[in-house]
Amino acid sequence: MFLEPSFKGQRSGWIEVICGSMFSGKTEELIRRIKRARIANQKTLIFKPLTDSRYDREKVVSHDANQVLSIPVPTSQDILSHTEDAMVIGIDEAQFFDPALTAVAEKLALMGKRVIVAGLDMDYLGKPFGPVPDLLAIAEYITKVHAICPHCGNLATHSYRLSDEKNRVVLGEKDKYEPRCRICYSMGNIIDFRTN
């Protein structure tokens, strides 16, 4: 069933997904796209899950310390109550949102909005993470960014957990995670040494 977009004269919206491992530049790319939209005088809003307060409670902050003010929300449905006038919607740390994020992004796109979502595509076990795989399936544009494996220098696609914690969601930075290529990730603790 086709739903006619209703955003003030704009005839189309779309979904962009930026995904990859930790330290690959996902948030950096999201911030870059939001800033470019602002330069073009497009009204933007950016959201993040309320649970992610690693760097700041109200800002989306990249590992390189670039930042933009955001609206922390407890659920993906809460995004809809803030977006009426915005043309471009940014959503960071998508993997921490509930499964309804996919439907929320779809609804926003059908309203004629540009929706830019950034998140981990895989958890520390190498399994699809949260709503990101479903978002990848419905997105018009997908950007997979890569970190560099600190052990071999190849492109890193996995987030290797350095701590022994077993919960799926463990907030942390370089103290708990490092990016690894497929081979070094599969070797696990065998190569748990620093090559600085």
Provide the pLDDT for residue 169: 86
Residue 73, domain member (yes or no): yes
Residue 183: is its pLDDT beyond 90?
Answer: yes
Residue 181: is its pLDDT beyond 70?
Answer: yes
Residue 183, domain member (yes or no): no
Q: Confirm if 159 and 122 have CB atoms less than 8 A apart.
A: yes
| Domain harbouring 69, CATH code | 3.40.50.300
- Taking Cα atoms as reference points, which of 191, 114, 102 lies closest to residue 154? 191
Catalytic residue status for 58: no
Confidence of residue 3 (pLDDT cuts 50, 70, 90): very low
pTM reported for the whole predicted model: 0.85
Distance (Å, whole) CA 65 – CA 174? 14
Residue 98: is its pLDDT beyond 70?
Answer: yes
Unique residue bearing structure tokens 């979502």: 117
pLDDT tens-digit readout, 101-132: 999 999 999 999 999 999 999 999 999 999 99
Distance (Å, whole) CA 103 – CA 2? 15
Residue 1, domain member (yes or no): no
Distance (Å, whole) CA 55 – CA 53? 6
Residue 175, domain member (yes or no): no
Show the domain range for 101.
14-145
pLDDT above 70: percentage of residues in the chain: 84
How many independent structural domains does the chain possess?
Answer: 1
β-strand partners of 18: 118, 143
Annotated catalytic residue: which of 4, 16, 29, 93? 93
- Taking Cα atoms as reference points, which of 100, 113, 92, 94 lies closest to residue 37? 113
pLDDT above 90: percentage of residues in the chain: 70
pLDDT tens-digit readout, 55-84: 556 556 555 556 788 899 999 999 999 988
Distance (Å, whole) CA 175 – CA 136? 29
Residue 86, domain member (yes or no): yes
Distance (Å, whole) CA 100 – CA 71? 18
Residue 26, domain member (yes or no): yes
Residue 187, domain member (yes or no): no
Residue 181, domain member (yes or no): no
**Containing H/E element for 133?**
helix 132-138
Phi, psi (degrees; rounded to nearest 5) at 155: -65, 130
Going from the C-alpha of 171 to that of each of 20, 110, 148, 182, the distances in angstroms are 16, 33, 21, 22
